[in-house]
Every structure is written in structure tokens, then in C-alpha cells.
Structure 1
Amino acid sequence: MAYLDRKGFYGIIIVIMVVLLAVLGIAFATLGAADISVADGFRVLLSRVPFLKGLAEDVQLPDFFYTIVLDIRLPRLVLSAMVGAALSVAGTVFQGMLKNPMADPYVVGVSSGAAFGATIALVLNLRFVFAGLSSVSAMAFVCALATILLVYNISRTGTRVPDTTLILSGVAVSAFLSAAVSFIMVISRENLHNIVYWTMGSFTSADWSAVKTVLIPIPAGIAVLMVFAKDLNMMMLGDDTAKSLGVNIELTKKILLVVASVITAA
């Protein structure tokens, strides 16, 4: 009963947070340099809802209201929500898998690998599109996955990958790649601004094409990680306990590492 009560409590919390996110999203869609009231912003959003658009047609709004809210502010809100969800889920996976409350994508080098790949693309002025990704995003994605593969193989002891070794290898590789990025910034002053801008991150230039880029990998990755939630819970009790309960430790680690890295790099 206590377990069911706890699940019900967490379910209520999740519902409240989702509703709060929606309310705050609508409110923040009205904030900015342009003077758009909350009521007008809400009307603009309702105008795109099939069965509710009639409620927004009683007031004539300027065309630029629709452009600002729907094409500038809303993509930023949607993208930031998706990125936040991806990073929070990935962080939870790393913390549970490594049994370390301080673990995050930086610990295993995913973030540093992505920054290194983006830096290389910017310095070499690469111009291509791969699977809908720009050259910078594609290089960041590929290097992030290559980094986690490198860290995993360095950490391997026989057929096992001890958590402590994985953390230490990740920290070492992350430090090396961060140093490499800093060195490139020093010797390539003309690209310094672009590198810093990309590594710091920004939603200023977010649009619907950027949302489409992550629309499949992030929700799909989160869904896969949710499937392995029970296995992750058992792994937190210890590898021996998880094995006795039927969890394939090494296979589960590989899947969790790759999927968490994918949604982080996306």
C-alpha cells in the first residue's frame, strides 16, 4: 500500500509540474521587447488549436503578434523544454548507473566531446548537412558518441566496466577534450566568439527547424530509458543484487550509456 501511495503521490506531482510548465509557457510567451499582453498571447495560441480557434477570433490582433509568438517565442519555449527534459533524464540515468549523485553528462565526457566536435567544425569552416543536422551539430553529435565509446573501452576490465573506472576515465577524457578546446580557442582567435557562443549555448536563434531536429531523438530516447527504469533501479542496489534479479548488467549499461549520450548530444 505504501508503494502504491508513493506512486500515486509522484503521479500527482508530475501532473502538477506538467500543468505548471504549460501555464508558465503561455505566460512567458508574452514576455519580450514587444508589448503583448497575456490575454493577447493566449488568443494567438488558441488561434492554432482546431476546436478552440473560434474563441480567439472575437478580437482582431496585428499580424506581427502571430509572428512574434508563434515563430519566435514558441519555438524557444518548446526547444528549451525538450532540452531540459533530455538533460534531466540523462543526468538521472548517469547518477543511477554510476551510483553517484554528482554524475552528469560531463563526467563521462559526452558534453566535452560534443564541444570538441563543434569546435573542429567551426575552425575548419565545414559546410554540410547530415540527416537534417548542420555541420556543427552533426560533428558535435558524432564526437559525443565517439567520446562515450572511447571512455567505455578505456574503462573495460575484461568483460566488465566498473563504475569507478568509468567515472575516472570519463573525467580524464573530459579534461583532455576541454583542454583541447581551450588550446584551439587560443590559436584560432578569429573563431573565438563562435566557439564560446556555441559552447555556452543559447536559444536565441531557435526556430521550428531546430525543434524538428530533436523531435524524434529526444522523445524516443526518453521512452527507451523509461523502459529500462526498473533495471536501473535494481542496478542501484548493487551489481550482484541486480544480476541475481535477472538484469544483464553490461548490456544494460551499454544501452543506457548510448541512449543517454544520444539525447544529450541531440
Structure 2
Amino acid sequence: MGIVFIILSIILFTSLGTVKIPFKNVILAFANNSDNPLYDRIIFNLRLPRVIGTLLIGAILAIAGNDFQMIIKNPLADPFIIGISSGASFGAVIYTALKSVYGIDLPFGIETFAFIFALIATIITFSLAKEGKKIPVVSLILSGVIVGFVFNSISTLFTVLFWQNLLHVNFWLMGSTGNIVWNDLIILTIFLVLQIAVNFIFKKHIEVVAMGDEISIFSGINPEKIKLIVLTINVFAVSVVVSKAGIIGFVGLIIPHLVRKITGPNIYYSTIGSMIYGGIFLGFADLFSRYLFRPTELPIGVTTSLVGLLFL
């Protein structure tokens, strides 16, 4: 049922935009039986990579949120709220500034810079929030807000100082899937597969860790090791998302909660549910952003934030 819904959603998202393409022509193009070259170019060069990329990004963010909420045992854990996205965006801005402003030929890609600063932001957030062996909900949120504010402020400072070179970064910082191309789908797919693989391989371990560290140790499981593995994969995955599409908040907060109300804490079903409905949710947010405001478009991060704030 979920796969059918995804296919129908892809057809819908590909059809609607600044140029509306009839559903019939979309289906004919997918079947390689189209007789309209203009529609074919729009579909395969612009719409389809963006639509698929948006679904992958939504899936990655939702799974990351689900994992964070389970292993941290915090209902408000989310890549955006706890500062990971802001750290990753700062790393991406630094990379862009070094290349565009100073012309430095860097040995690492933008994803590496985004990951490094996302990891730094994560460490700072958890260090500030930790009280003994516990991480209270309020402390985590406040720490995440502080860290996010600091990194966002510095990113904004860079864009103001070097606006001629980094003018395009302003829109990117608010989230946009408009620049997704076919090559980006490869790395997004790789990290989505890694997220799913880790969750399935360590299914029982994650579910036990979600019950508490004491139960984990009593069951012979090292909770810190499991947390490290899950956090590292998800921080890297979120960093790649931010490097490709900017900051897109609240997907990892909204979708896991809604999915677990249906599936329960089972990591297998909540992962699959988060993947499907996270992608579809972000797909509809992207459709809203680019279709209702055509010929221009609203940054997708603004749309998800509006929905997320209502949910929060």
C-alpha cells in the first residue's frame, strides 16, 4: 500500500509545477512512450530528480528523528531542534566561503565539512544538556536552541560579509530541493540504505536501549556503543541532506511521532513508516512551496517550519 502511494505521489508531484503537465503525459514519459519532447525534458531534467530527491531527504530526516527519539529517550529529539542541521549548514557555508571567497582548493567535499560541524554541534548540545547521566527534555531543547542560534548567526554573518559571493546561500539556508540533480540521488540513497541497514541489524539492541541504560546493561548490551553507532550514521546522513538541500526542520519531529502512534516502538515498522511518510510529507511540502507560489517558490524549510510549529 505504501509503495503504491509513493508511486501515485511521484506522478502527482512531477505533474504539478510552474508548467502543469497532464498526468497522462507523465505516465507516458515514465513508460518511454511520450510524443512531447518539451514535457520529457521538464520531467527528466528538472522535475523527477527533484521529486525523488525530496522523497529521499524526507525519509532520511524522518528516520533520523525516529532514531534520536528512541535512543535518547526524548520525544523532542530532532536534527533541527538539537542543532545538528545548523551545525551542518555552518560547515557547508564555511566550505563555500573558502572556495568562492578565498579560492582555496580543498581536499574534502562539502559533505565532509557539513558532517564535521554537525558532529561538533551535536557534541556541544549534549554536553550542555547533560545533567549527570540524564539528558532532560527541557535542557536538550534549550541547548539545541542555543547551539542552533550561534551557528545560524555565524552563517548569517558570513553571508552578509561576503554577500557578493554567497548571495545564493541565503535561500539555501532556508531549505530548498530546487538544485537536486540525478548525481545527488546516489549519495542520498546510500545513506538512506545505511540508516535502514543499521536499524535492522541492531533492531533488538536499539529497542532495548530505548527502554533505558540499566535494562540494556542488564541484558548484556553496551548502550553507549549502540548510541554511538546510530548517532554517527544519522548525523552523517543529516549532514549530507543539509549539504544538498539546506536546513529543513521539523520533519524528524513530526513524522516519527505520528508513525509510532500506528506502529508502536517496533524499530522495523517505525523505520519503514518513517521512510514512507517522511518522504511523502516533504514531497507535499515541496509541492505546496513551488506550486501555490508559482512562478516563484517559497523555501521548503519555511513550509515545514510552519507545520512543525503548529504540531509542536
Find out whether 1:219 has 2:193 as its counterpart: yes
Q: Which runs of 5+ in 1 are unaligned?
A: 1-15, 48-55
How many residues of Structure 1 are paired with residues of Structure 2 in the alignment?
235
Instruction: Tell me the residue number matched to 2:77.
Output: 103
SS at match of 1:40: helix
Name which of structure 1's ranges 37-46 and 143-152 shifts more when overlaid on structure 2.
143-152
The C-alpha deviation readout for 1:177-225, integer Å capped at 9, x for no partner, is 2332244344444456323212112111221012123231222233213
Q: Does 1:41 align with 2:13?
A: no
Q: TM-score, normalised by structure 1?
A: 0.76
Q: Secondary structure at the match of 2:215?
A: helix
Map of 1:248 onto structure 2: 222
Shift of 1:71: 1.9
Cα deviation digits, residues 234-254 of structure 1 (max 9, x gap)? 222221112212221110111
What letter matches 2:58 in structure 1? G
> Equivalent residues in 2 for 1:123-202 (5 A)?
123-124=97-98, 125=100, 133=109, 135=110, 137-149=111-123, 162-164=134-136, 167=140, 170-190=144-164, 193-202=167-176
Distance 2:233 2:221 in 1: 18
CA distance in 2, matches of 1:201, 1:106: 12
137-146 or 69-78, larger mean C-alpha shift: 137-146
In 2, the alpha carbon distance for the partners of 1:145 and 1:39 equals 46
**Cα-to-partner distance string for 1:63-92 (whole Å, 9 max, x where unaligned):** 222211122111011100110000000001
CA RMSD of aligned residues (A): 2.8
Q: Is the 8 A contact 1:148 1:257 kept in 2?
A: no
CA deviation profile, 1:28-68 (whole Å, cap 9, x unmatched): 21222334211111011012xxxxxxxx3xxx512222211
Match of 1:99, SS state, is coil
Instruction: Mark the structure with the bigger radius of gyration.
Output: 1
TM-score (normalizing by structure 2): 0.66
- Which residue in the other structure is 1:237 paired with? 211
Q: Secondary structure at the match of 1:104?
A: coil
The answer (yes or no) to whether the contact 2:87–2:117 under 8 Å persists in 1 is: yes
2:184 is equivalent to residue 210 of structure 1: yes
How has the CA–CA distance of structure 1 residues 172 and 36 changed in structure 2, closer, same or farther, with 3 Å as cutoff? Answer: closer
